Amino acid sequence: MPVENKPMTKTASRDLFPGALEMMILESLRRQPAHGYALVQHIQQRSNNLLQVEEGSLYPALQRLLKAKLVKAEWGVSATNRRVRTYQITASGLRRLEQQISSFERMFEGIALVLNPVNPLPARRNLQ
Amino acid sequence: MNWIPSIFRRDKLYGDLSEEIRLHIEERAEQLIGEGLSREEAERQARLAFGNRTLLEERSREVWQWPTLESIWADLRFALRQLRRSPGFVFVAIVTLALAIGANAVVFAVLNGLFLRPLNVPQGQSLYSLQRGNEKYIVQSYPDYLDLRDRNRSFNGLAAYTIVQAGMDTGKDPSHVWLYGVSGITSTYWAFTRILAGSFSRPMSAAPEALRISCSHGPIGTVIFRTIATWWAAPSG
């Protein structure tokens, strides 16, 4: 992954709406268990580096998820033979992820309507 | 009651977190070294990419804390550490505070005693002391008191008092005592006895009871006998 020289300020994480990082973490973990560093890599690569998540901001989010028992963590050894703490999504984590995705989609639809009023959805037009 | 075990798990949680973050930065640095950077530069960039480690670690810990309580506790500990670091300042601050508090306490005690604390009698604010005489010697004769009392229209009642000396014997050693002689048993008299009882230097064990004794001053003979006796008998057990 290319490394940027400019410091990644807090702006990157602040610009995400509340809960976005948690949602992306849960989604990444749904695909496969991972440790913190791999999660950052995964999120940045999957977003084509559009999301420059400050690496450290992952950890408060992970602790929140751990506390809510949406993920669980275990120390182990990675494929590259490193000592890592691997996170795994739990059953309630999966449920929460589904709820979050559906509410995110509604929010996204709403935002899209506001940003693109020229071409609203037909159903919405009838309401006006 | 999830929070009870979590308090005891804290040390492990925090330890895991620090270790995890250290390993994260290390892994990033090693990747950068693999990409051809020097170790020093790689470590610098890894730290940069991670962000403010102290702050983020603190935010991560906060997840497990009771935020307000624990941040107050943390502030307190920080304050104590700062104080330990500058004993001179602490000394000056404590002495200043002690002097200020002491001075205030003295001023308050005087004000409280003189002005604020109401007398322990009904309608204490309408209690007056009538005095006649010159600057050196304030005294009036008993007949004058009788005249004042009989012609009084301004007060509910008048009572006179004087300090008398007597010999008192409670069955052990007779001794010389000072008594307050108070005229007539009236409501004014009871107000007097309470005020006078409060002026003794020893605490009184009971409300004063009046006893008529005869003394050389003639009619002014009602004495707060019980009070005096309690006060007087206390030292000898």
Structural domains of chain A sorted by starting position, each given as residue range(s) with its CATH number in brackets: 12-115 (1.10.10.10)
Mean pLDDT over B214-224 rounds to 37
Candidates B24, B51, B62; nearest CB to A8: B51
**A35: region left, alpha or beta (phi > 0 left; psi from -120 to 50 alpha):** beta
Cα B99 to Cα B103: distance, rounded to the nearest angstrom: 6
Please give the pLDDT value at position A33. 93
Q: How far is CA A48 from CA A2, A16, A42, A51, B188, in A?
A: 11, 16, 10, 8, 97
In chain B, what percentage of residues exceed pLDDT 70? 62
Contacts of B177 (CB under 8 A, 6+ apart): B165, B166, B167, B168, B228, B232
Cα B215 to Cα B184: distance, rounded to the nearest angstrom: 14
Contact A14, A20 (CB under 8 A): no
Contact B59/A60, CB-based, under 8 Å? yes
Q: Which residues of A touch B17 (CB under 8 A)?
A: 59, 63
Please give the pLDDT value at position A15. 55
Mean predicted lDDT score pLDDT of chain B: 73
Cα B193 to Cα B205: distance, rounded to the nearest angstrom: 14
Cα B12 to Cα B14: distance, rounded to the nearest angstrom: 5
Contact A71, A65 (CB under 8 A): yes
Residue of B nearest to A5 (CA): B45
Candidates A5, A60, A75; nearest CB to B60: A60
pLDDT tens-place string over residues A45-66: 888 877 777 888 899 999 999 9
Please give the pLDDT value at position B158. 77
Contact A56/B21, CB-based, under 8 Å? yes
Contact B145, B183 (CB under 8 A): yes
Contact B62/A59, CB-based, under 8 Å? no
Looking at residue A127, its amino acid is L
Q: What is the value of pTM for the model shown? A: 0.48
pLDDT tens-place string over residues A2-42: 444 444 444 444 456 778 889 999 999 999 999 999 999 89
Kindly tell me if the per-residue pLDDT of B217 is higher than 50: no
Kindly tell me if the per-residue pLDDT of B185 is higher than 90: no
Sheet holding A83-89, edge to edge: A34-35, A83-89, A71-77
User: Is some CB atom of chain A closer than 8 A to the CB atom of B50?
Assistant: yes
